[in-house]
Every structure is written in C-alpha cells, then in structure tokens.
Structure 1
Amino acid sequence: MATSWVSPPTRTELIEDLVSGVDRYNPSNVSILEDYLYHQIRSQEYDCLANLAILKLYQFNPDLYNPDVVINILIKALTASPLPDFNLCISLLDERPINANLDEPDPLPSLLPTLKHLNDLLHRCRFPAFWEIYQSDELESLRDNYTVECVGFEDAVREVAIRAVKATFTRISADRLASYLDLSGSELSAFVEKKGWNMEANVVSIPPNPDNQIEATVVQENIKLAQLTKVIAHGAST
C-alpha cells in the first residue's frame, strides 16, 4: 500500500519526473499538475504526492493560487481516510495567498471548516453523521459545484466505511451497515452482493480477514542458565 501511495501505477512518466525531480518546484509546470488533478477527478484515480506538489507551488507562488483546485484536492484527500492525506494538504494551507489575483470571492475560507469537519467524522468512523451533514441543505453548494464533478466520490467514501467495517466486524446488522453507506433496500443488497458478502435475516456476514479475526498469541521466552543464576544471585543479595 505504501508503494502505491508513493508511486501510483496510474502515474505517467511525465508526472513521475515532475513529482520526483527538481521540476516539482518549477512554477511553469503547475498547469500540467492541475490538468493531472482533473484527470484524477474524472477517472477515479488518486495521486496524493502530485496534488501536494500543486499546493507547494501555490505556497511558493501565491499568484498561481486557484481556490477551485485546492478544494478539489481536499475532496480527493477525504476519500483516502484513514490515511493522513487530508491533514498533509491542510498543512500546506497555513499561509493564505495574499497576492492571488481572483476574479471572484475566494470560496475556500467558507468551505474549509466544513471539509475539516467531514474529514474528522470519517477519521472517527462517524459515518451516519457524515452522510447527514454531507446531504444537508447547507452543503448543497459543495455538492452542486464540486463533488458532483468528482466521479465516484460517494462510492469512494463508502469504501472508507467498508475498510473500517472489514477491520471491525465479522457480523453486522443490515440496518447499521445501511447507515454507514447511506444505502438501503435493493441498493444495499446489490452493494453487499458486489462485495461477495452474505446477508441473511437482516445480518451481513463479513468474510474472515487478518483484522477481524481474534487469535491468541503465545509468547515464549527462553532464559539461559547463566541469566537465571544472575537473577537468583541478585535476589539473594537484596
């Protein structure tokens, strides 16, 4: 997983050269990286290091700052939870660009607290609360202007929930799973079937995996005679 995070298999040779070499600090390449970000949005691919390179270029060159690009980077990072991608991106936004030439008001300051809250909910596995807030009227602008353009965003969030479920449960009620995935009825049944899970009597069975299986661990220590005599001698002298 670490290897695919550092160098995703979908990353092109051109992007690899930009991300891994000194050219990542060349402001003339920012448009290439921005185009790559929008490719990720359309294709459901993800490359955190390439997106971080954009944010670093914005730090060094405030006049390049594009708030829509930043928001899209944060939206993609949301779906990487529980990895720290979102916080890595946030760490590069501490210094707000003061020299950016924007034709319209910057939407990021008003959306950033909301995006942080959504990330916090995902990180704490509060999936029903995430969906409630995400589907609320207050976030209609976020959905209509941003996440609607991010192909597969909601399914990617569901995969975040699935990773938590697989690591925690061997059996879970269908109602509880539905609240985690924001799915119900035939949509939930189709999702469970696609995962290859079994649902009977409103209970979904999670196949065994290394995370949801409790196995006793036997710890055996080998103490040599010379070590034992030292312990006995120390005990006798106290």
Structure 2
Amino acid sequence: MASATASWLSPPTRTELIENLVSGVDRYNPSNVGILEDYLYHQIRSQEYDCLANLAILKLYQFNPDLFNPDVVINILLKALTSTPFPDFNLCVSLLDERLVNPNLDEPDPLPTILPLLTNLHHFLQQCRFPAFWAFYHSDDLESLRENYTVECVGFEDAIREVVAQAVKATFTRIDSGRLGSYIDLSGSDVEEFASKQGWSLDASTGIFAIPPNPDNQVESVVVQENIKLPQLVKVVSHSVQVK
C-alpha cells in the first residue's frame, strides 16, 4: 500500500518539469495549462497515469473557465476510471461541480451528456458488477464515447481488466473460466492467456483457475489475548467498589 501511495503521489514516469508544475508555486499559473494538457495526451498514448497532474488541469479550469476544454476533461475521467478502486474518479468529478461552461467553444459541450455515462461505468466498477460494466460499455448509449475517446486511449480496456484482476485476486482462491471470462470480457484462449499473465493456473479437467494465496484472499482467524496483571485487576475491582 505504501508503494502504491508513493507511486500515486509521484509516478516514476513524471518528468522534472511536470513535478515542478504540480508541486511548485506555478501550479496555479494558467499559462502552464497547455503543458499539462500535452502531458495528459502523453498519458493517453503511452498508458501512463498521473492523477495529481490531471487534477491540476481541472483546478486551473475552475479558476479560469475560459480555458475549459471538455475533451480534456473526458480523457481525464477515462484515465481515472482505470485507477478504480482508488478515489481518483470522484476527486476529478468534485472539481467539476461548480464549473462554468466556456462560451467560446466552437461545438456543443459533450460533457453534460457523457459525464452521467462515465459515472455509471464507475459505479459498476466500484460495485464489482463487471459483466454489467462491459454490457453497458458496449451498448449503443456509449457508441460516441468509444468512437471518439476510448479508441484514442491506448490500452483502456486492458487497464480495466487489470482493475478486475485486482478485485478477483482479493476475493477468490478459485474461479471458473466462464465466470472469469464474463468479468474481463474475453473468451476461449484469451481468458487462459490473461490468467496466465496473472500467474493463475488452470485445471483443464474442471476449467477452474487457481489463484495463489495473498493477504486479501486468505481468511485467517485472529486470536486476541489480553494479559491483565494482578495489580491492575485490584485497581479495577477497587474502583468498581468505590463507584457502588
């Protein structure tokens, strides 16, 4: 957990320039928004992720509504989805509550339409309703999102599958291949290939994958033993007598 937190605060792929923009006094300088937006699109293309840098963009939009770019916001939210169950998505949305729409946009703002759809996807992930996530993701309602945004976000679907894998590792010691396939939206040999990369072994006779033990999927009884010394017991009894 400590390693994950450190990586979240300062990803190893973050450059010194971005570090200075995120952590330094220039964080609220609107002239730097272009640099941060370019960095976001680098994340989109390279499968990297830097939540704090993306939050800095949204904060600049809050203070400078004329800079607002809905396409940037949607891409930030897509990247945040891939960090579930961490609270990145909600952190991003919280900075949009009081946003002002940029009146200088050449086209209608797509965010009011797409934000509820992204929120639904996030709810499915948070609730571990993975088949429902994929069904909704592939639905006609999200055709515009897929064709205009996720298609540009390299590795988006694989990143979601990694979210699923983390949940499966924390919950199961054994899982049927059909069930796993419905969770990760894959079938046949693709399921086996995915599970193999996770280090899960398949029993071909039963079609069940075995998931190695880890601190989250092991149920262990905890014995709590309290040692009370005689002088302490005397004080307790004495106090109870005085109360009476």
Amino acid aligned to 2:174:
R
- Stretches of structure 2 that go unaligned for 5 or more consecutive residues are none
Moved more, 39-48 or 187-196: 187-196
* Alignment check: 8 A CA contact 1:65 1:100 kept: no
Structure 1: distance between partners of 2:62 and 2:240: 63
Q: Identical aligned pairs, as a percentage?
A: 73
2, 6, 28: which one aligns with 2:9: 6
Name the SS for the 2:48 alignment partner.
Answer: coil
Q: Which residue of structure 2 aligns with residue 33 of structure 1?
A: 36
Residue number among 86, 90, 112 corresponding to 1:87 in the alignment: 90
Does residue 18 of structure 2 align to residue 15 of structure 1? yes
CA contact (8 A) 1:167 1:212 kept: yes
Paired with 1:217 and 1:55, the residues of 2 have a C-alpha distance of: 45
Partners of 1:21 and 1:220 in 2: how far apart? Answer: 49
Please list the CA deviations of residues 69-98 of structure 1 after superposition, one character each: whole Å capped at 9, or x if unmatched.
000000000010000000000000011324
Q: Kindly indicate whether the alpha-carbon contact (under 8 Å) linking 2:51 and 2:88 is maintained by their aligned counterparts in 1.
A: yes
Unaligned runs of 5+ in 1: none
CA distance 1:100–1:29, change in 2 (3 Å): farther
Cα distance in 1, alignment partners of residues 87 and 193 from structure 2 = 31
**SS class of match (1:213):** coil
Match of 1:175 in 2: 178
Shift of 1:225: 1.5
Shift, 1:227, TM fit = 1.2
RMSD: 1.1
Aligned residues: 238
* TM-score, normalization by structure 2: 0.95
Q: Given the two structures, how large is their TM-score scaled by the length of structure 1?
A: 0.97
- Deviation at residue 138 of structure 1 after TM alignment: 1.6
TM-aligned CA deviation for residue 99 of structure 1: 4.1
Residue 119 in structure 1 maps to residue 119 in structure 2:
no
1:78 matched to 2:81? The reply is: yes
Structure 1 segments, 4+ long, off by >6 Å, are: none
For residues 46-69 of structure 1, what are the alpha-carbon distances to aligned partners after superposition, in whole Å with 9 as ceiling and x for unaligned? 000000000000000011010000
> Any idea what SS the aligned residue of 2:84 has?
coil
202, 213, 220: which one pairs with 1:215?
220
